[in-house]
Chains A and B, each alone.
Chain A
Amino acid sequence: MEKFNTLVQDLAPRKFSKRGVIWTSFLLVLIILGIIAYIDQLIKGQEVTNMRDYALWGIYISNFVFFVATSFVGSVTVAILRLTKNNWRTPLVRIAEIISVSAIIMAGITIMIDMARPDRLLNLFIHARLQSPITWDVIIIPTYIVISLLLLYFPLLPDFAILKKHFKEKSPKLSKWYGKLSLNWTGSKAQKALQTNSIRIIALMIIPVGLLLQTIDAWLFSTTYRTGWDSTNFAPYFISGAFVAGVGALVAVIYVVRKYRKLEKYITEQHFDKLGKFLVLACLIYLYFNINEYLIPAFTAKKGEAVHLDTLFTGSYSTLFWLVTIVGLIIPTIVLLFKKGRRPLPMFYVGMIVVIGSWWKRFIIVTPTLLHPFLPIQGVPESWHHYFPSLHEWVITVATLAMALLMITLMVRYLPVIPIQRTADEKNIIDDNNKNLES
């Protein structure tokens, strides 16, 4: 009984420390600045951005693609590890689910930010053409949001019941909320059967839906017949890229949460080691697809594609391209191949580098292609030949990233970041109060 209480004590949500308050306030300031910039964008129109006739997709879209990619962590870590019965996943899955939910919600919001007339959002549904990948995207994103929320919520039910009891005296108001969210969970056989069955279904379903989400995201580009996007390789290339971005984000967030919540007992170095192996596998697969994506066109490129590749390899985007490839992918792969590289702190740095690299990688995928249309750019001001985001775009984009981090922060604050009931079950720690109900 004491062991169970200690477990709950360790894993139950805690109030923000001073650092937590500062961090949340900082995120709120960034979000408020972003909202102000967005209102200005709504009033003045997209002219406040640097998107013009040619670079009509800027960092909003690359940021959207980044969020979609990061949300893939839910499918990969949670579902795959669950179905393959890798028990070491337990302390990691909740954080993966939280990242997945935050990222996919922000992907939906970001795509609306890119719309010059968000008041016409409903037209996407009213006038939807099922032939268009845009329509598929409009359908798949809300679907993935709902599935991700369900994947987060179902395993939380027993934990909410535990937290209801835990906060009964400490914080009756919070206890009441946890009680409502627990849906009268008692741990009865019927409830457990329904929950287990539902989680299995979601775990099965989220893999193809996650793959579909990444594939559709890739098809948004590859069905446009543009230099750099017109590739049959694009969907697996995006899936493997999402694998890297998602696991990278997971590593970085887990490190911070582990340190902040002092969960070293539950999230051990062994977990980082396994995640490191997982990430190196993701990086190697992604590297393979990168070679396919750039090396083969380098041999076979026609004039238009050759100009595009020159810009990436030796031209105006070469610094960013090689930084993203070498620092964001090759070096992390090498570091992770060594056991020392898979320890928590190096893994955190690797995770951060991989996430930042993944963000800029999306920028590299989106922008240079738009600046290399088949017909030459003519009759437009010189500034339209190039693209670099405006201050509005930066402020709004940073705000969306801050929103995602705020969502993660708030969920870490109010949800048990490690499944309490499941950990207790795995460690054979019995809650005597619920013993009768569970049996």
Chain B
Amino acid sequence: MKNCKNKYFVLLVIFSIFSMFTGIQTLNAQTTEKNKVRIKADYVKIMDSISYLDIAATSRIEKQNTTVSNIALTIHNETEEEEIEIGSTITNSKGKSRFIIKDLNTLKPDSTFTYTINISFKGNDAFKKASRSVSFKNAGISATISEKDSTNYISASLSDLSTNSPVEGESLTVQVQRLINPLKIGEEFNSTDENGTILVPIESGIPGIGGNLNIEVVLEDHDDYGTVKKIVRAPVGVPIVEESTYDQRTMWSPRNKTPWFILIFTNLLIFSVWGIIVYLVVNLFKINKS
């Protein structure tokens, strides 16, 4: 009986030790906290082209902002009554993703004609779950090029497409697409008038391939409409004359395009000198024979 008691006591001790380790393990797991993910999303609409959401995921780890790559995000269209999944995306190595909204007409607005898109992250072993909502109304920009007194103008109109009404008092940016950064033209702020319209002169002398300029009219990062961009291709620039010497015979061309003067002068020298050398060698033969 006494042996039996001892046996139970030993089992109890072993169980207690095991429980203690389990407790420590749990404690350890609790100390490895998951990091928060911050999701940022901007709505961009390019007229007569695509609309998309530019998404960026970051996290503050060890007091430093770090991009969060390779996380799956789910995109929902939210209204008062329902939440419809419209797709998913994964962030790239820089923590960014571009989600293209194939057709704005397939999304449902709320009663105020506002579209709400929710981007959510379910969370994983390293990061907590997170989400972000973006709301925007459907706006449109139309633009035309006109000429008056030998000056070219771009006329652009901003309107709220849900109500078909012009948007007054908003600043539009007018710029020409360039290789690295766009070239802004006109005033710094071009506010729309009561018809939602601006009129900006296009400076003469801006170079473009074939004289064509890609002029952008942009409503930038608006609280209600997001970013809306209209691109107009206009033949109002100065054609770029390509100054390539690729087909010419230059000092830096490949061997089949050697300049004629080098070809003639060098070969003349080579053949003259080697001609004389051959003559001298022939003289050696003559000396040998005579």
Complex Cα–Cα for A154 and B263 (A): 32
The reply to whether A194 and B258 contact each other, CB–CB distance below 8 Å, is no
Against B, the Cβ 8 Å flags (1 = close, 0 = not) of A27-62 are 000000000000000000000000000000000000
Measured between beta carbons, the chain B residues less than 8 angstroms from A436 are none
Which of B255, B258, B274 is A127 in contact with, Cβ under 8 Å? Answer: B255
Against A, the Cβ 8 Å flags (1 = close, 0 = not) of B274-290 are 10110111011011111
The reply to whether B255 and A194 contact each other, CB–CB distance below 8 Å, is no
Complex Cα–Cα for A188 and B290 (A): 8
- The answer to whether the Cβ of B235 comes within 8 Å of any Cβ in the partner chain is no
- The answer to whether the Cβ of A364 comes within 8 Å of any Cβ in the partner chain is no
Which of B255, B259, B280, B290 is A190 in contact with, Cβ under 8 Å? Answer: B290
- The answer to whether the Cβ of B262 comes within 8 Å of any Cβ in the partner chain is yes
Complex Cα–Cα for A89 and B272 (A): 29
The reply to whether B262 and A139 contact each other, CB–CB distance below 8 Å, is no
Which of B262, B273, B277, B279 is A131 in contact with, Cβ under 8 Å? Answer: B262
Given contacts A130-B255, A201-B280, contact A195 B262 (CB under 8 A): no
Measured between beta carbons, the chain B residues less than 8 angstroms from A183 are 284, 287-288
- The answer to whether the Cβ of B253 comes within 8 Å of any Cβ in the partner chain is yes
- The answer to whether the Cβ of B29 comes within 8 Å of any Cβ in the partner chain is no
The reply to whether B290 and A130 contact each other, CB–CB distance below 8 Å, is no
Complex Cα–Cα for A143 and B278 (A): 12
The reply to whether A131 and B270 contact each other, CB–CB distance below 8 Å, is no
Complex Cα–Cα for A1 and B192 (A): 119
Complex Cα–Cα for A240 and B70 (A): 69
Which of A128, A150, A185, A195 is B255 in contact with, Cβ under 8 Å? Answer: A128
Complex Cα–Cα for A129 and B266 (A): 11
The reply to whether A131 and B287 contact each other, CB–CB distance below 8 Å, is no
- The answer to whether the Cβ of A112 comes within 8 Å of any Cβ in the partner chain is no
- The answer to whether the Cβ of A316 comes within 8 Å of any Cβ in the partner chain is no
- Which residue on chain B has the smallest CB distance to residue A151? B280
- Which residue on chain A has the smallest CB distance to residue B281? A150
The reply to whether A209 and B273 contact each other, CB–CB distance below 8 Å, is yes
- The answer to whether the Cβ of A334 comes within 8 Å of any Cβ in the partner chain is no
The reply to whether B277 and A150 contact each other, CB–CB distance below 8 Å, is yes
Measured between beta carbons, the chain A residues less than 8 angstroms from B251 are 131
Most chain-A CB neighbours within 10 Å: which of B255, B283, B287?
B287
The reply to whether B286 and A131 contact each other, CB–CB distance below 8 Å, is no
Which of B252, B254, B277, B286 is A194 in contact with, Cβ under 8 Å? Answer: B286
The reply to whether B266 and A147 contact each other, CB–CB distance below 8 Å, is no
The reply to whether B258 and A143 contact each other, CB–CB distance below 8 Å, is no
The reply to whether B252 and A198 contact each other, CB–CB distance below 8 Å, is no
Which of B254, B280, B288 is A129 in contact with, Cβ under 8 Å? Answer: B254
The reply to whether B287 and A194 contact each other, CB–CB distance below 8 Å, is yes
The reply to whether B274 and A143 contact each other, CB–CB distance below 8 Å, is yes
CB distance from A155 to the nearest CB of B (A): 12
CB distance from A153 to the nearest CB of B (A): 8
- The answer to whether the Cβ of A191 comes within 8 Å of any Cβ in the partner chain is yes
The reply to whether A130 and B262 contact each other, CB–CB distance below 8 Å, is yes
Chain A contact residues, CB within 8 Å of chain B: 127-131, 136, 139, 143, 146-147, 150, 153-154, 157, 183-185, 188, 190-191, 194-195, 197-198, 201-202, 205, 209, 212
Closest 6 CB pairs of A and B: A183-B288, A129-B255, A190-B290, A198-B283, A131-B251, A130-B258
- Can you report 17 residue pairs joining A to B where beta carbons are below 8 Å apart? A128-B255, A129-B255, A130-B262, A130-B266, A131-B258, A131-B262, A147-B273, A150-B277, A150-B281, A153-B284, A183-B284, A184-B289, A185-B287, A191-B287, A194-B283, A201-B276, A212-B269
